[in-house]
Structure 1
Amino acid sequence: MGVSSAQFWSRYGNVPLQALAGTMEVSETDDDDVLFCAEDGGGVAGRGCHMDYLLAYAVAELLLSIHISLSNLLVLYVYLRKKDVRTVTNTYIFSLALTDFLAGCFGIPITIISVLTRRPQSFYGCLFVHLILCILCTISTFHMLAIAVDKYVTICCRDQLFRSRHSRAVFLIALSWVSGTLIATLPLFNFFGFAE
């Protein structure tokens, strides 16, 4: 009749969510609005236990979002205001900071809202909400790859691919945005049948 602290009940469809490792005993209930979290079958601690975890998650993500947004906003501000820092290398950093700023301002808050409200309920709606952050993180990773490729070509190939570093930077940054977006949106095509 008890539920261990290793698992919580979702209020939507009574679907158990694994929060911690371990096993559990499950008790059925008629109450659609219950979120159980009890210690070793010793009773029901109520909604507070589940909400404590959600609140801790939301606060941690919100602090991370604020830090990411402000630090990258500072990078964007300096790049736009100071002409002497607009080098080719800093162009990569600017684009990377823009991606991370968007993740901090939009991706993380939208994900927090989705987790807290458990909305949207449809597979593709839920997937799309979480893909916003996934797309931005993938683009960010591709920016770091572009920086590494630029440094490699600059050191080893000496202008064999492009005549100027500036045109190479524009090409690699555009490639980062396009390829990152395409790769991160692959789950929308449901190749593995998870939507069923």
Structure 2
Amino acid sequence: MKKLLVSTLLALSCVLAGAPAHAAMLEGLRFDDTVRLGSRELQLNGLGVRAVYIFKAFVAALYVPQKTAAPQAILDQDAPRRLQLRMLMEVDSGEIKKALVRGMRKNVNDAEWAAMQDRVDQFARTIDSIGVAREGDTINLDYLPGQGLQLAVNEVSRGPAIGGADFYQALLEIFVGPNPVDTRLKKALLGQ
């Protein structure tokens, strides 16, 4: 009995030693304080829920190289970043595409929009490849300098990377820009 207790405690301590020291929780979902993207470690800047009317659509997590409450600092940097969406309900990719493209359009001027039109079309096709985002799915919108935006669903990459820091900035502006889709979500992602 004593050997069983010692071996159980030893196994438990090994499991706990491998677990991250801190994690954030929201809507019953656990988010690591740090993630690795490329060769960089990113910090969890903030978490928030996107609700549409009375429905909670997803929890968003923003990971950046260095925590900041200044949205322009996040938008202007050409550094790895991750916007993670964890779905709280089933959503058709057409609705996701419409919301993201409309949000990007709202945050750029006509010249910027014209300059990224081919990439917007590529992004729309990539989102279409999702089909239906189901409750529990994780959508990562990752940016690596020199490579661009890579969309992944449940850790599986979708489509080729979409180049340009300007494109990723337009995407992030939906969430933390001057005309965000949800001001409460913006504050939460900025850790406010």
With structure 1 as the length reference, what TM-score do the two structures score?
Answer: 0.24
With structure 2 as the length reference, what TM-score do the two structures score?
Answer: 0.25
Structure richer in strand, relative to its length:
2
Higher relative contact order (CA 8 A, sep 6+): 2
Structure richer in helix, relative to its length:
1
Structure showing greater Rg: 1
